């Protein structure tokens, strides 16, 4: 997951960055609203971890401007403002979730992953997805390759629905396991089995491949 952290407390920002990066996520950081806007304009992020009390204003204004522009980027507000009215203001501005400081780093990641899963589900339900000659219709729950319907088990369909909206994006093993099973797997063979099924269905002549980037994860590519 590609996460933008907007936080002016250096210690908190570094702890978040180091923890999330160690868990396999790609992170960018800004300590101001202006810096965050510049990064958002040039980057493709999966989630935003947003503080409210920033040197150049309230993080809620950034959330509101994103929503006013029609952007659906998942937003998790991380703030010391713990009153009910503060939380309601944050949600009204466009936050998807709200976590009060101090917080556990594991909970931050869990909430961000939950927001990402929800966003993927909503995007998948909105319209058919396609890369090259491979397509998935969420409404019909139907996968087609070059116009021919593929009969895939449910877990393979879940895996494809997760990767298809983001061709060439690197997914960690952990991200894919959570997307398919809802939690990490004790053995890597479980994911490998689903990947094998999907690769076999795509065959070597379709132009669609799922690459294994050794030590990092997997990505779906189209020739």
> For residue 51, which of 97, 7, 88 has the smallest C-alpha distance?
7
Output the pTM of the full model.
0.62
pLDDT recorded at residue 107: 94
Q: How many CB atoms lie within 10 A of CB 5?
A: 24
Q: How confident is the model at residue 23 (pLDDT cuts 50, 70, 90)?
A: confident
pLDDT per residue over 111-164, tens digit each? 998 888 787 666 555 566 788 888 888 777 788 988 889 899 989 998 998 888
pLDDT per residue over 182-207, tens digit each? 778 888 889 999 999 999 998 766 78
**Coil, helix or strand at residue 138:** coil
pLDDT per residue over 67-118, tens digit each? 888 788 999 999 888 888 888 988 998 899 999 999 999 999 999 988 887 8
Domain 128-222 sits in CATH 3.20.20.70: no
d(CA 117, CA 120): 5
What are the distances in angstroms from CA 151 to CA 142, 191, 198, 202? Answer: 8, 19, 10, 11
Per-domain residue ranges of the chain = 2-119, 128-222
> What does the mean pLDDT of the chain come to?
88
d(CA 180, CA 183): 8
d(CA 97, CA 114): 10
**Coil, helix or strand at residue 167:** coil
pLDDT recorded at residue 121: 65
Contact between residue 150 and residue 199 where contact means Cβ atoms under 8 Å apart: no
The percent of residues above 70 in pLDDT, for the chain, comes to: 95
pLDDT recorded at residue 204: 67
pLDDT recorded at residue 188: 83
- Asked if pLDDT for residue 45 goes beyond 80, the answer is yes
Could you tell me the CATH superfamily of domain 2-119? Response regulator (3.40.50.2300)
DSSP state of 206: S
Return the ∠ at Cα 127 (arms to 125 and 130), rounded to 5°. Answer: 115
């Amino acid at each position: 997951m590609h996460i933008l952290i907007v936080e002016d407390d250096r210690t908190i920002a570094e702890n978040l960055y180091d923890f999330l990066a160690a868990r396999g996520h790609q992170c960018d950081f800004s300590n101001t609203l202006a810096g965050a806007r510049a990064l958002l304009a040039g980057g493709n992020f999966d989630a935003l971890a947003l503080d409210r009390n920033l040197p150049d204003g309230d993080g809620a204004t950034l959330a509101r401007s994103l929503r006013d522009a029609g952007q659906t980027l998942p937003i998790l507000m991380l703030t010391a403002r713990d009153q009910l009215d503060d939380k309601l203001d944050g949600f009204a501005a466009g936050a998807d979730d709200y976590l009060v400081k101090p917080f556990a780093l594991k909970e931050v990641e869990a909430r961000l992953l939950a927001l990402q899963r929800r966003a993927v589900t909503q995007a998948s339900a909105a319209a058919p997805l396609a890369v090259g000659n491979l397509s998935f219709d969420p409404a019909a729950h139907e996968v087609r390759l070059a116009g021919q319907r593929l009969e895939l088990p449910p877990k393979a369909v879940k895996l494809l629905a997760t990767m298809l909206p983001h061709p060439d994006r690197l997914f960690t093993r952990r991200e894919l396991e959570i997307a398919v099973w809802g939690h990490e797997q004790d053995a890597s063979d479980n994911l490998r089995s689903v990947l094998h099924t999907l690769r076999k269905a795509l065959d070597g002549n379709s132009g669609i491949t799922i690459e294994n980037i050794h030590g990092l994860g997997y990505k779906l590519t189209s020739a």
